[in-house]
Amino acid sequence: MAKMTLEQLRRLREEKKQDLTRREVEGKEIQVIVGMGTCGIAAGAKQTFDAVVEAVNAAGLGNQVIIRQTGCMGLCYVEPTVEVVAPGMPTVIYGKMTRDFAKELVTKHLVEKKLLDDHIFDRPAADIMKN
Amino acid sequence: MHYGLGDYVLDIAQNAVEAGPREVSLDLDETEGGFRVIVRDDGCGMTAEEKARALDPFYTDGTKHAARKVGLGLPFLAQAVELAGGRWAIESERGVGTKVEFAFPSASVDSPPAGEIPSLFLGLLCLPGDHEMLIRRSGPRGSYELRRSELSEAVGGLERASSLALLKDYLVSMEYDD
Q: How many domains does chain B have?
A: 1
CB contact at 8 A, B27 and B14: no
Inside any domain, residue A95: yes
Using the predicted structure, report yes or no on whether residue A128 has a pLDDT greater than 60: no
- Of B174, B171, B152, B172, which Cα lies nearest the Cα of B163? B152
| Among A37, A99, A103, CA closest to A72 | A37
- A41 alpha carbon, distance to own chain's centre: 16
Give the model's pLDDT for residue A126.
54
Output b/e per residue, A4-25; b: 16+ Cβ within 10 A: beeeebeebbeeeeeeeeeeeb
What 3-state DSSP class applies to B28? strand
CA distance B150 to chain A (A): 8
Strand pairing report for A92-94 and A82-85: antiparallel
- The upper half-sphere exposure of residue A44, i.e. CA atoms within 13 Å in the direction of its Cβ, equals 13
| pLDDT, tens digit, 9 for 90 and up, residues A60-119 | 999 999 999 998 888 989 999 999 999 989 999 999 999 999 999 999 999 999 999 999
Domain of residue A69 covers 25-130
- B10 interface with A at CB cutoff 8 Å: yes
* A41:B7 CB<8 A: yes
Does residue A7 lie in a domain region? no
Q: Looking at chain B, list the stretches that DSSP marks H as alpha helix, in order from N- to C-terminal side.
A: 5-18, 48-53, 73-83, 117-125, 148-155, 161-175
Residue numbers of the domain that contains B86: 5-175
Who among B71, B126, B154 is closest to A9 (CB)? Answer: B154
Q: Which residues, at least 6 apart from B112, have a Cβ–Cβ distance to it below 8 Å?
A: B2, B3, B4, B5, B7, B8, B80, B84, B104
In a domain, A76, yes or no: yes
Residue A17 lies in a domain: no
DSSP 3-state assignment of A100? helix
Q: What is the pLDDT of residue A131?
A: 47
Nearest CA to A36 out of B64, B117, B58 is that of B64
Which ipTM value was assigned to this complex? 0.83
Predicted model pTM: 0.88
Put simply, the answer to whether A67 touches B73 (Cβ < 8 Å) is no
Q: Is A2 contained in some domain?
A: no
Is B58 an interface residue toward A (CB < 8 Å)?
no
**Residue in chain B nearest A17 by alpha carbon:** B162
Whether A20 has a pLDDT exceeding 50, the answer reads no
For residue A13, is it within any domain? no
Strand runs labelled E in B32-147: 34-41, 87-93, 97-105, 132-139, 142-147
Ranking A76-85, B55-64, B69-78, B155-164 by mean pLDDT, the lowest is: B55-64
Q: Is residue A12 part of a domain?
A: no
Check CB contact under 8 Å for B65 and A72: yes
The CATH number of the domain holding residue B12 is 3.30.565
Side chain identity, residue B72: L
Chain B hits for A74, Cβ within 8 Å? 65, 68
pLDDT tens sequence across B85-130:
999 999 999 999 999 999 999 999 999 999 899 999 999 999 999 9
Please indicate whether, in this complex, the C-beta atoms of B174 and A4 are within 8 angstroms of each other.
Answer: yes
**Within-domain flag for A114:** yes
Q: Domain tally for chain A?
A: 1
Beta-bridge mates of residue B105: B34
Residue B143 pairs with which residues in a beta bridge? Answer: B138
- Closest residue by Cα to residue B118 from B96, B146, B149, B157: B146
pLDDT, residue B76, reads: 87
Say if the Cβ atoms of B174 and A50 lie within 8 Å: no
Q: Which helix (H) or strand (E) holds A67?
A: strand A65-70
Query: Residue A92 belongs to a domain with what CATH number?
Result: 3.40.30.10
